[in-house]
């Protein structure tokens, strides 16, 4: 069985490796930069991006199981993706201060030759601590905040910003492993 992760995310690679699956990685190279999309449905938005990533690679590899994923933050009726600049990342983190936001990750699995097109979505509620500007500045200047939805990664130093989560930790990192495993296991047993 040939499995391809259609992603450039190191975190997704690390998470998927936990299943001891042999897979290759092909970056889909699509434009996924978004900021402040007002009033769009967050589930539909990230599901469409996950499908676009998986579908682009599956057209080139129709006999493979291609996995695409996308993570966004939904905060005050706005979709927040990866920041375009350190200034954007700083503004995002300041706005999350003492607030709750929702992290959505969609995953799409496509195998064209077997007519498989299966999607899932997970949501985790994240509550931020009261964080100060010095900690935000330290994080922005010493860690890569530009390649993470909302400008932070729960798996790195910014974990100190998190008061609590309600839902799957791996979903916040960018790949809801438990939910994916249950669905993928059923697909490959067919």
pLDDT in tens, 88-97: 999 999 999 9
- Asked if pLDDT for residue 31 goes beyond 90, the answer is no
Domains along the chain?
3-188 (3.90.950.10)
Catalytic residue among 38, 70, 137, 166: 70
pLDDT band at residue 34 using 50, 70 and 90 as cut-offs: low
Active site residue 88: no
Residue of higher predicted confidence among 39 and 61: 61
pLDDT of amino acid 19: 94
pTM: 0.93
Residues 6+ apart with CB under 8 A from 176: 105, 107, 120, 122, 168, 170
Residues 5-26: what's their mean pLDDT?
95
Of 37-46, 69-78, 91-100, least confident by mean pLDDT is: 37-46
| DSSP one-letter code for 76 | T
pLDDT for res 46: 93
Phi and psi for 105 in degrees, rounded to 5? -125, 130
**Residue 127 near residue 162 (C-beta atoms within 8 A):** yes
């Amino acid at each position: 069985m040939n499995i391809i992760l259609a992603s450039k995310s190191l975190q997704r690679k690390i998470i998927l490796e936990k299943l001891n699956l042999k897979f290759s990685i092909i970056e889909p190279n699509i434009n996924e930069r978004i900021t402040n999309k007002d009033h769009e449905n967050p589930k539909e938005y990230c599901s469409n991006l996950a499908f676009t990533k998986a579908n682009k690679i599956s057209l080139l590899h129709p006999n493979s199981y291609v996995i695409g994923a996308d993570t966004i933050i939904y905060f005050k009726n706005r979709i927040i993706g990866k920041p375009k600049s350190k200034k954007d990342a700083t503004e995002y983190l300041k706005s999350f201060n003492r607030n709750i936001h929702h992290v959505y990750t969609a995953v799409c699995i496509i195998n064209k030759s077997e007519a498989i097109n299966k999607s899932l979505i997970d949501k985790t509620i994240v509550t931020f601590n009261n964080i100060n500007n010095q900690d935000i500045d330290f994080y922005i200047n010493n860690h890569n905040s530009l390649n993470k939805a909302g400008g932070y990664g729960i798996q790195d130093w910014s974990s100190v910003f998190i008061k609590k989560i309600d839902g799957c930790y791996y979903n916040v990192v960018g790949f809801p492993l438990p939910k994916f495993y249950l669905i993928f296991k059923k697909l490959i047993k067919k």
